[in-house]
Amino acid sequence: MSPFLITLAAALAVGIPALATAWAQSRIGPAIAASMAEKPELSTTAILLVAIPETMVILGFVVAVVILVRGG
Amino acid sequence: MIIEMSKLRILGPRERLEDVLRVLQDLSLLHLSAPEAVPLAHPELSPVQERERRHLRDALDNVEQALSALAVGENGSAAPGTVTPADQVRWARLAWRTRRETDRLTAQAAALEEERALIMKYQHFFSAFRSLLESESRWPNAQAYHVLLRGREAGTLPRLRASLAAVIGEEFQLFSQALPSGELAVLIVVSAQVAGRVERLLAEARVQEIPVPEAYGGKSLSVAIPRMLERLGKIPREMEDIRRRGQELARAHGADLRRARAALHDRLQALAALPLSGVTTRAFVLEGWVPARARHDLERGLRTAFGEDVVVSEVAKEEWESEQAPVVLANPRLLRPFETLVSLMPLPRYGSIDPTPFVAVFFPAFFGLMVGDVGYGLLLAALGLVLHARAKPGTTLRNISEIIGPCALFTIIAGFLFGELFGDLGQRWLGLRPLLFDRAEALVPFLLLAVAIGAVHVVLGLVLGVVSARRHPRQALGRGVSAAMVVLVIVGLLAAVGVLPRGFFSPVVIALLVGFPVLIVLEGLVAPIEFLATLGNILSYARIMALGVASVMMAVVANKMVGAIGSVTVGILFALLFHLVNFAIAAFTPTIHALRLHYVEFFGKFFSPGGVRYQPFRHWTRAAADRRAAPLTPGNPRQAA
């Protein structure tokens, strides 16, 4: 496969989940900030909720690495 | 670990109930719980006690308000040994008098501050009108108008002059001066006979006249401004006088008020404890929890105070559910700072597993693998030492500084394993070579290492889940099968890629096919989904590799700035800045993700939240009150005992 396609595939593999993560965090962030204003004890939940969508981009990154390594 | 608790039952004659409660409060060991035996009644407060409680609350409110207004510190807030009703009355009076005095001082200070703010509103006019006022003084029988023209209205000054001339002829003087705000201060001085016509004209033109505060001499600024300036000079002295009187009050009554607060809290707690007892016509029963190792201390204390009148017996473990028992975490000194990280989650139930020791091992390890740089590790260690020196013992900051230490150590170790010192600077300058592999190059080995660590961590979590479910055999068996199947999947994968002999593959697949129905029988239809989620959890540890690679790449990019930018000095500055940013990111992001790996992937396998905090019936202290106000922080056994 051409290097261009391999690079494009890797970029898409990490880029699309990055957008998804950003979108999810943009929704979670304000909601949890509003909740914490009333209940500061929700800080642990806040950490978890904001960190959970990052799994998408991290797994996307792993897939991108696999594509690049396998594609040579 | 969660320390073992004993449930005790205390029996005695009813008339000694209050004395027993007083001694228990002194001992500070028993976490009271209401006895549930049927023939027992829970005594309600008598009308006299209800009235006393109302008075105590009022007095306490006065004490708190007075202490807050006087900004009295927390030193020496222990309650005196014996408190008589006369003491209570004296403190209530003192609190009422002091509060009345502090309220008066607060009101005076607020009024002075308000007055100062009002005068300061006129500060621009002071300088602007000072020269104009001298002009005014030359017209003894004249009427003065002080008006303010906004910047955009400044062009109206000639029109104002023309209009005045049209209405009253030449019997006026008009002076103006620009203000820093862009407005124009204007003084119109007219003879008293034409004042009415000028007022009408100004009203019709909607020109704003500067209002003169009544308190400073009525209508004319010429009278008001000197008085306002005089007051402005006096206000700081009056404020200082109020502050001094506040300090005198604090010196005179602060210590008494602190003692009063502790004693009033103590008495209120004693009254609140009464309904937690059970009574018959002649006897009382108290039940509660005490750390097993402190049981004899409590028995000895009661025997010394009451001899054979009061009997203490242990309630058999078969009579109580472990979920009812309060929880005390007790870990070795080295591990105790990590209780701070566990305390961000709800307290674990009694009888379940305290994850603190595991967090103390894996959290710094994950952090170190993600940052993995000798230079950053040393910086982190320095940061930890500074924090440690500045934080007071027992504070959250001190705990954080003590968590930073192991994190820095693991970061330095990982830095040697990956051969990193501020990125590739160690390799280029000091000939540092990776002992394990170079993270920037060996992406796949690093990924495999991260996932392997994840597999170990998750399987450990599943095994702990089996241990914590030991009283529920079916649940324990289900968790055990699940753990075994995760191990089988890993073995199967290793056999498939040739790391293990290929002969393992077929038996593993057969074992998995057998395991699935068993898992469904034991844990229900949701079990396969949970099993797949567990495999997903293992993959989630890939974030260790992702963040690690991001960290080393940032450091390498920072180093390349020195050569990439024309000027070496500018390049070095940019490189330092970039390293600083990378260090800041390295301090926070791995923390969040290491926490997440624990809270979601690890705790999810065995952690049972919902424990009741051990809160012994004790004398009031500020620190204990703060702990009670923070619902997610578990009690410290050393403070409790």
- Report the DSSP beta bridge partners of residue B522: none
- Indicate whether B492 pLDDT > 70: yes
Q: State how far the Cα of B526 lies from the Cα of B154, in Å rounded to an integer.
A: 79
Provide mean pLDDT across the span B246-268: 85
Q: Which residues of A touch B595 (CB under 8 A)?
A: 47, 51
**Is A59–B539 a contact, with Cβ atoms under 8 angstroms apart?**
yes
A44 touches chain B (CB under 8 A): yes
Which one-letter DSSP state was computed for residue B282?
S
A29 touches chain B (CB under 8 A): no
- Of A36, A48, A50, which to mutate for an interface test with B (greatest number of B Cβ within 10 Å)? A48
Q: Which residues of A touch B596 (CB under 8 A)?
A: 47-48, 51-52
Q: Residues B255, B340: one domain? A: no
Q: What's phi and psi for B313, nearest 5 deg?
A: -135, 155
Contacts of B367 (CB under 8 A, 6+ apart): B407, B410, B411, B590, B591, B594
Q: Report if residue B468 sits inside a domain.
A: yes
**Is A65–B593 a contact, with Cβ atoms under 8 angstroms apart?**
no
Domain that holds residue A62: 3-71
Q: State how far the Cα of B70 lies from the Cα of B198, in Å rounded to an integer.
A: 54
Give the gap in angstroms from C-alpha B615 to the nearest C-alpha of chain A. 20
Contacts of A33 (CB under 8 A, 6+ apart): A46
- Indicate whether B261 pLDDT > 50: yes
Give the gap in angstroms from C-alpha B344 to the nearest C-alpha of chain A. 6
Q: How far apart are the first and last CA of chain B?
A: 16
| Residue pLDDT, tens place only, B126-175 | 766 666 666 555 566 777 777 877 765 556 778 888 888 888 887 787 87
Give the gap in angstroms from C-alpha A51 to the nearest C-alpha of chain B. 7
**Is B592–A58 a contact, with Cβ atoms under 8 angstroms apart?**
no
Q: Where residue A27 sits, what CATH number does that domain have?
A: 1.20.20.10
DSSP annotation string for B107-142? HHHHHHHHHHHHHHHTHHHHHHHHHHHHHHHT-TTE
| Residue pLDDT, tens place only, B332-370 | 989 999 999 998 888 898 888 999 999 999 999 999 999
Q: State how far the Cα of B604 lies from the Cα of B105, in Å rounded to an integer.
A: 56
Give the gap in angstroms from C-alpha A58 to the nearest C-alpha of chain B. 6
**Is A41–B542 a contact, with Cβ atoms under 8 angstroms apart?**
no
List the structure tokens of B398: 């001190």
Q: Residues B312, B363: one domain? A: no
> Is the distance from CB of B356 to CB of B342 less than 8 angstroms?
yes
Q: Residues B90, B218: one domain? A: no
| Residue pLDDT, tens place only, A21-59 | 999 999 999 998 898 888 887 877 787 788 788 888 888
Distance of CA B465 to the CA centre of its chain: 31
Task: Show the CA angle centred on residue B45, arms to residues B41 and B51, nearest 5°.
Answer: 170
| Residue pLDDT, tens place only, B67-112 | 887 776 655 555 555 667 787 788 888 888 888 998 899 999 999 9
Q: Is B465 exposed, middle or buried (0-12, 13-18, 19+ CB in 10 A)?
A: buried
> Is the distance from CB of B189 to CB of B136 less than 8 angstroms?
yes
B48 touches chain A (CB under 8 A): no
* Nearest beta carbon to residue A58 from set B443, B542, B595: B542
Distance of CA B627 to the CA centre of its chain: 11
Chain B residue with minimal CA distance to A14?
B546
Confidence of residue B398 (pLDDT cuts 50, 70, 90): very high
Q: What percent of chain B has pLDDT over 90?
A: 22
Q: Report if residue B507 sits inside a domain.
A: yes
Q: Report if residue B108 sits inside a domain.
A: no
R_g of chain B, CA atoms, integer Å: 38
Task: Show the CA angle centred on residue B79, arms to residues B78 and B84, nearest 5°.
Answer: 170
**Greatest extent of chain B over all pairs of C-alpha atoms, in Å:** 119
Q: Residues B214, B72: one domain? A: no
A51 touches chain B (CB under 8 A): yes
Domain that holds residue B48: 5-100+246-319
Give the gap in angstroms from C-alpha B585 to the nearest C-alpha of chain A. 15
Q: Report if residue B315 sits inside a domain.
A: yes
Q: State how far the Cα of B143 lies from the Cα of B540, in Å rounded to an integer.
A: 83
Q: What is the dihedral of CA B442, B446, B449, B454, to 10 degrees?
A: -160
Give the gap in angstroms from C-alpha B129 to the nearest C-alpha of chain A. 48
Q: Which residues of B touch A41 (CB under 8 A)?
A: 631-632
Confidence of residue B637 (pLDDT cuts 50, 70, 90): very low
**Is B596–A41 a contact, with Cβ atoms under 8 angstroms apart?**
no
Contacts of B599 (CB under 8 A, 6+ apart): A44, A47, A48, B344, B345
| Residue pLDDT, tens place only, B282-328 | 888 888 999 988 889 999 999 998 888 889 888 888 888 877 889 98
- pLDDT recorded at residue A8: 94
**Is B540–A55 a contact, with Cβ atoms under 8 angstroms apart?**
yes
- pLDDT recorded at residue B541: 92
List the structure tokens of B109: 């200070």
List the structure tokens of B38: 């049927």
Reported as type and span, the H/E element at residue B434 is none
List the structure tokens of B233: 């000079």
Count interface pairs A-B at CB distance under 8 A. 47
Q: Report if residue B637 sits inside a domain.
A: no
Chain B residue with minimal CA distance to A58?
B543
Q: Where residue B216 sits, what CATH number does that domain have?
A: 3.30.70.2750
Q: Residues B356, B470: one domain? A: yes
Q: Which residues of A touch B443 (CB under 8 A)?
A: 65, 69
Q: Which residues of A touch B546 (CB under 8 A)?
A: 58, 61-62
Q: State how far the Cα of B535 lies from the Cα of B531, in Å rounded to an integer.
A: 7
Q: Residues B155, B204: one domain? A: yes
Q: State how far the Cα of B621 lies from the Cα of B449, in Å rounded to an integer.
A: 50
- Scored b (16 or more CB within 10 A) or e, B444-457 reads eebbebbbebbbeb
Contacts of B400 (CB under 8 A, 6+ apart): B337, B340, B387, B391
Provide mean pLDDT across the span B422-446: 88
Q: Which of residues B213 and A62 earns the better pLDDT score?
A: A62
Which range has highest mean pLDDT (B61-65, B79-83, B352-356, B620-624)? B352-356
Distances (CA, A) of B529 to B208, B468, B479, B540: 75, 22, 14, 16
Q: Report if residue B550 sits inside a domain.
A: yes
- In SS3 terms, B203-246 reads as HHCCCEECCCCHHHCCCCHHHHHHHHHHHHHHHHHHHHHHHHHH
**Is B545–A62 a contact, with Cβ atoms under 8 angstroms apart?**
yes
Q: Report if residue B617 sits inside a domain.
A: no
**Is A58–B447 a contact, with Cβ atoms under 8 angstroms apart?**
no
- pLDDT recorded at residue B631: 39
Q: State how far the Cα of B154 lies from the Cα of B49, in Å rounded to an integer.
A: 74
Please state the length of chain B: 641
Q: What percent of chain B has pLDDT over 70?
A: 89
Distances (CA, A) of B612 to B260, B295, B325, B618, B631: 30, 19, 7, 17, 10
A55 touches chain B (CB under 8 A): yes
Which one-letter DSSP state was computed for residue B320?
S
- pLDDT recorded at residue A21: 93
Q: No. of H helices and E strands in chain B?
A: 21, 11
**Is B443–A69 a contact, with Cβ atoms under 8 angstroms apart?**
yes
- In terms of Cα–Cα distance, which of B431, B376, B419 is closest to B578? B376
B543 touches chain A (CB under 8 A): yes
Q: Residues B269, B173: one domain? A: no
Quote the number of domains for chain A: 1
Q: State how far the Cα of B368 lies from the Cα of B587, in Å rounded to an integer.
A: 11
Give the gap in angstroms from C-alpha B624 to the nearest C-alpha of chain A. 18
Chain A residue with minimal CA distance to B340?
A44
Q: Residues B404, B469: one domain? A: yes
Distance of CA B576 to the CA centre of its chain: 33
Which range has highest mean pLDDT (B153-162, B400-409, B555-564)? B400-409
Quote the number of domains for chain B: 3
**pTM, two decimal places:** 0.72
**Is B540–A58 a contact, with Cβ atoms under 8 angstroms apart?**
yes
Q: State how far the Cα of B37 lies from the Cα of B317, in Å rounded to an integer.
A: 16
Q: State how far the Cα of B527 lies from the Cα of B482, in Å rounded to an integer.
A: 8
B553 touches chain A (CB under 8 A): no
Q: Report if residue B149 sits inside a domain.
A: yes
A41 touches chain B (CB under 8 A): yes
